[in-house]
Structure 1
Amino acid sequence: MPADVSRRKLLASAGILGAAGVSAEVLAADQAAVAAPATEPAYGGATVRSGDARYQDLVRSWNGRFAGSPEYVRMVGTTAQVEQAVAEAVRAGKRIAVRSGGHCIENFVANSSVQVQIDMAQMNAIYYDPARTAFAIEPGATLREVYKTLFTGWGVTLPGGTCPAVGVGGHFAGGGYGALARRAGIVPDHLYAVEVVTVDRSGSPRTVVATREPGDPNRELWWAHTGGGGGNFGVVTKYWMRSTGATGTNPSKLLPTPPARARLIDFAWPWSGLDVATFSQLVRGYLTWHAENSAPDAAATRLSANLTCAHVSSSPVVGIQVLVNPDEADSEALLAGFRAAVVDPVRAALTVRERTLPWLQATNYTGYPDTGAVVGRRNKSKGSYLRASYTDAQLATTHRYLTAPGLTAPLAGVLFASYGGRANAVAPDATATPQRDSVLKVLHTVHWDAATDDDRNLSWLREFYRDVHADTGGVPALGGVTDGSYINYADVDLADPAWNTSGIPWTELYYKGSYRRLQQVKARWDPRNVFRHALSIALPS
């Protein structure tokens, strides 16, 4: 690891040492004094071209379907280096794409039309910035690094995703969420400011800081990064995080405090005992519980539960993983209520396993692993927001596709992820994430290895999703059982009339009534449409 990066991380966590017996005020001052990164020679500036041993690692996506072929990859370590990289590419008329963690589901970065790839991986500092009384996080940091640094340094966290290797660059801007969303909202609800390298009408790069302060003339650029998606307005070089309503200068009070421990209970039902009626009862009970227990201030929002329905060829069981804080006095009652409503009515064989982990360990346990099951495999995914339980027809369709013969993908199925609660305590127009009355997020996904299996797996997933939403034109329509989709689950099929026959534009499925406002931000900050991809915000006509 380069010396400047390792030192930044050391400084970022230095405030926790010797804290016992020290007042919060003294500790806060100590942390503020050491938290900002030192001025040292920066990593970056390297240009990697085809033939370089590093090239293939840098142009391949997490999704094995896609690999880019840019003329070069520019490795950057500072905002000044980003400005220089952007200026050179724009001056030469080269198409730009920006990569942080490389986890984009579609080929927005790993695309043959991209000529210059700007790699943010080494801009990964995480520290407390006393000048803004907020935590500064660079876009190359992974969720694992964010959780570890914030928690070990200050005992705080962000309600982000459960895939540890995801880079925050796109995750934050797209409206990231995770297991704590029900009790703490989503990541944009904690975004105070963003630093962005933009390109003006003359083609000159300009670094802009935009905050949520009402009087900030750049505030709309901040707003666009609270769910407007990556690759649209410029290159994010820094996020500052401080919860809305947080006051004072004590860093330990400026972001959510996670539970000290996580109690994880896994319920598993063998497919052999789940006919269509029993399966439908299980899923309906789970969906209905969320519909009835997801008001912003409901006690049950302190329970999170994900339902994983893998295809029979991928897993022998259907499973629910429940997460509660065992140190809360009512956690046992919350769990009992969930079990009585969802688990106990299902008359099928059941296996129960549980463990209690320190919170930081739990963040590496509950999501996709960094290697093995998904990394480098070919993938297609499709998302939706869910506001109420599926209909009987949708449940039967889901069972039919998950038990259909002929599919042999190592990982395929549908994931229902807990949502609602404090995620719904924010007005739809307060951020660029307008879906603020949904109770679940849904991910239809399939992973496979060989390109020769592309047609079979893509067809299975596309037809599965289309048929679940058959009554609404093959897509999750707005305002009914569903409420559109989530841009971080990017799906180009929503813009394809062959798969979206609803008459609802993809722009509304992702952004609802916020799209025109996003277009105005685009017009001001990227008037040359430098930053674009298949689902990017378009300039207003």
Structure 2
Amino acid sequence: MALVRPAAMWHGHGMPDQASLSRRQVLRAGAGVAGLAFGGLVVGGQSQNAGAFAAATPADWADLGRSIRGTLIMPNDPAYATARLGWNTIYDGIAPQAVLQPAGVGDVQQAIAFCRDTGVRPTPRSGGHSFQGFSTSTGLIIDMSAMKSVTMNSQRSRARIGAGAVLIDVYAKLFQQGKMAIPGGTCPMVGISGLTQGGGVGPFIREYGLTLDRLVGAHIVTADGQHRYVNASEDRDIFWAIRGGGGGNFGVVTAFDFVPVPADMPTISANMTFAWRHAERVLEAFQTWPDALPASAHPNLVLATSDRSANAQPTATVGLWYRGSRARADQAMREFIAEVGVAPTSQTVLKQTFFEAEYDEYCAGFTEGQCTPVTSPGGLLPRLGLSTYSEISSAPWPRAANDVIVEELERWQRDRLLQPEGVSSALQAGKVIIEPLSGAVHDTAPTATAFPYRDGWLVYQFQSRVRPGAPAETVAAGQSWVNRFMSRLTPWRTGAEYSNYGNRELDQWATAYYGVNLPRLRKVKAAVDPGGLFRFEQSVRPDART
């Protein structure tokens, strides 16, 4: 497929500034050089936080605020208390020195120049959903949430999505503009940037590939301050790296150009819940079910603990997204039930538009304003404390492995610290989520993008989820539970992990995330960010250190 630079139909994003300018050079020349006007919120003071590369002076922050069109939020501003937070409550104790919400590319360039000059760590944030908490730091958060436009050309052949857009807005706007979509996940508040740069798993992947497989170009500001447009012919190595090399490693992406996919057919969304005593049968049947389904079908399996009560047990729920006829979806479910050998205790089937199905996955019964995080005015979507590992399997697991999964969920269910009285399992639970990584995902070579696991079978998430404000001992118990879980599964694990579902305690994380593509990623890092300006606990290093 020929990859074409977007035409002048795109508005409001600005053209690349090819000069690598320091912040002080720009300020000496005057804000007009960069096309900037005063509009930043300047508040005095600074935060001396351990772990930042450096702490800037009040004068530095004042200069930065005057140089941008967006908003600079300092610790003594009323907005700081929520602006600093990511989604994962485990990392709420991390206090950035400031949060910058850029209004355009020029603001991002100013932020990068500021960080180079002062030594403050830049941390890009799109949706703030990093499972490992890497979208927060003790440096400068570059919060892209104001750069969230979603536009599509009249031919519906290209969609430009600002890096601050979250999935519910992406789906809504592409559907409204032409009943189109991109293959992405189902969680509404996940940001497009981290999703795409890590891979992008969701209900369209068996038909259209990962989210990154539909990407044809991106705007990015690199560590030298340059604003580059990267695609298959321009800055090809960077374009390769941001497709699977993980968010925040190679610069601040400000917009993505995708080839959208049709979303104008009915979507069948179904759930079948089975009695827990049959969980092993469900696990065994599910592992081979995707191969029996057409590419337009995407199943998932969720095993989760329940609210504490006298006879509470975990649940086993099989979901199915089917783009097509209700009759074929019903037939697929009947075949799965026959394979399990027992009927589900409950079953729901809905025929909806694609957007209705996506919205209802998390937001059924909510208004549009309520389908936002609790940190937003009127928002009802909860924040959680999450510790997770993943596994990309290469073949079905044997019964012994499935036994471990069942036993560990039962262990959590019995534990009164992990599953306490009076706390909803919607806010605190042990959970395993399994989805196929097959179909069109396999059509791309392992080294064609930075995402290496093109022969994967299933992708697993093993989650410890604890309520906001949970005591430290509960958070630690959840991490210990998931650590033990992974240790017990060692005989069957491939060592392949999906970076978007990673864990800070993972050994050999670089190899686990990037596999055969790690050496090339390091070379790209050395070329585009040799000083490691974009650095965090699991960032790609420009050498062989992990």
TM range (shorter): 0.7 to 0.9
SS at match of 2:351: strand
Where do 1:139-538 residues align within 5 Å?
A: 139-200=163-224, 205-213=225-233, 216=234, 218-242=235-259, 255-271=260-276, 274=277, 278-290=278-290, 292-293=291-292, 300-313=294-307, 317-327=315-325, 332-333=327-328, 335-343=330-338, 345-347=340-342, 350-367=345-362, 370=372, 375-404=382-411, 405-406=414-415, 407-408=418-419, 410-449=428-467, 450-452=470-472, 453-469=474-490, 471=491, 476-478=493-495, 484-495=496-507, 505-538=508-541
Where do 1:12-23 residues align within 5 Å?
A: none
Equivalents in 2 of 1:528, 1:516: separation in Å? 17
The alignment status of 1:69 with 2:107, answered yes or no, reads no
Amino acid at match of 2:524: V
Amino acid at match of 2:269: L
1:309 CA displacement: 0.5
2:81 is aligned to 56
1:57 CA displacement: 0.8
CA distance change for structure 1 residues 343 and 381 in 2, over 3 Å: closer, same or farther? farther
2:30 is aligned to none
Equivalents in 2 of 1:259, 1:287: separation in Å? 30
Equivalents in 2 of 1:168, 1:375: separation in Å? 19
CA distance change for structure 1 residues 520 and 316 in 2, over 3 Å: closer, same or farther? closer
1:89 CA displacement: 1.7
1:129 CA displacement: 5.9
SS at match of 1:160: coil
Equivalents in 2 of 1:437, 1:374: separation in Å? 35
Equivalents in 2 of 1:197, 1:225: separation in Å? 12
TM-score with structure 1 setting the length: 0.79
Equivalents in 1 of 2:72, 2:373: separation in Å? 27
1:499 is aligned to none
Mean Cα deviation higher: 36-45 or 456-465: 36-45
Amino acid at match of 2:124: V
The alignment status of 1:36 with 2:57, answered yes or no, reads no
Q: What do residues 412-469 of structure 1 show as CA deviations (whole Å, max 9, x unaligned)?
A: 2101123311111111111111111123211111211212311222111221122122
Amino acid at match of 2:251: G
CA distance change for structure 1 residues 174 and 38 in 2, over 3 Å: closer, same or farther? closer
1:343 CA displacement: 5.0
CA distance change for structure 1 residues 399 and 241 in 2, over 3 Å: closer, same or farther? same
1:403 CA displacement: 1.3
1:175 CA displacement: 0.8
Mean Cα deviation higher: 94-103 or 42-51: 42-51
1:151 CA displacement: 1.7
Alignment length (residue pairs): 458
CA distance change for structure 1 residues 132 and 86 in 2, over 3 Å: closer, same or farther? farther
* Structure 1: stretches of 5+ with no match in the other structure: 1-31, 243-254, 294-298, 479-483, 496-504
Equivalents in 2 of 1:96, 1:467: separation in Å? 38
The alignment status of 1:89 with 2:110, answered yes or no, reads no
Kept in 2, the 8 Å contact 1:63–1:375? The answer is no
Equivalents in 1 of 2:357, 2:343: separation in Å? 29
CA distance change for structure 1 residues 116 and 132 in 2, over 3 Å: closer, same or farther? farther
Amino acid at match of 2:286: Y
Equivalents in 2 of 1:492, 1:343: separation in Å? 41
The alignment status of 1:110 with 2:136, answered yes or no, reads yes
1:481 is aligned to none
Kept in 1, the 8 Å contact 2:124–2:248? The answer is yes
SS at match of 1:267: strand
Equivalents in 1 of 2:499, 2:13: separation in Å? 36
Equivalents in 2 of 1:391, 1:127: separation in Å? 47
1:316 CA displacement: 5.2
CA distance change for structure 1 residues 374 and 490 in 2, over 3 Å: closer, same or farther? farther
SS at match of 1:227: coil
1:367 CA displacement: 4.7
TM-score with structure 2 setting the length: 0.78
1:281 CA displacement: 1.5
Kept in 2, the 8 Å contact 1:264–1:322? The answer is yes
Q: What do residues 483-536 of structure 1 show as CA deviations (whole Å, max 9, x unaligned)?
A: x111111212222xxxxxxxxx32221111100001111011111100011111
Equivalents in 2 of 1:33, 1:494: separation in Å? 45
1:285 CA displacement: 0.6
1:184 CA displacement: 1.0
Equivalents in 2 of 1:206, 1:131: separation in Å? 31
Equivalents in 2 of 1:35, 1:438: separation in Å? 37
1:342 CA displacement: 4.7
Equivalents in 2 of 1:518, 1:132: separation in Å? 33
SS at match of 1:65: helix
2:48 is aligned to none
Equivalents in 2 of 1:188, 1:80: separation in Å? 26
SS at match of 1:183: helix
2:26 is aligned to none
Equivalents in 1 of 2:245, 2:136: separation in Å? 20
- Give the aligned CA root-mean-square deviation in angstroms: 2.7
SS at match of 2:269: strand
Kept in 2, the 8 Å contact 1:36–1:127? The answer is no
Q: What do residues 351-387 of structure 1 show as CA deviations (whole Å, max 9, x unaligned)?
A: 2221111211111122587558973221111111122
CA distance change for structure 1 residues 526 and 65 in 2, over 3 Å: closer, same or farther? same
Amino acid at match of 1:48: I
1:305 CA displacement: 1.1
Equivalents in 2 of 1:261, 1:233: separation in Å? 39
1:29 is aligned to none
Equivalents in 2 of 1:300, 1:135: separation in Å? 27
Kept in 1, the 8 Å contact 2:437–2:457? The answer is yes
CA distance change for structure 1 residues 412 and 186 in 2, over 3 Å: closer, same or farther? same
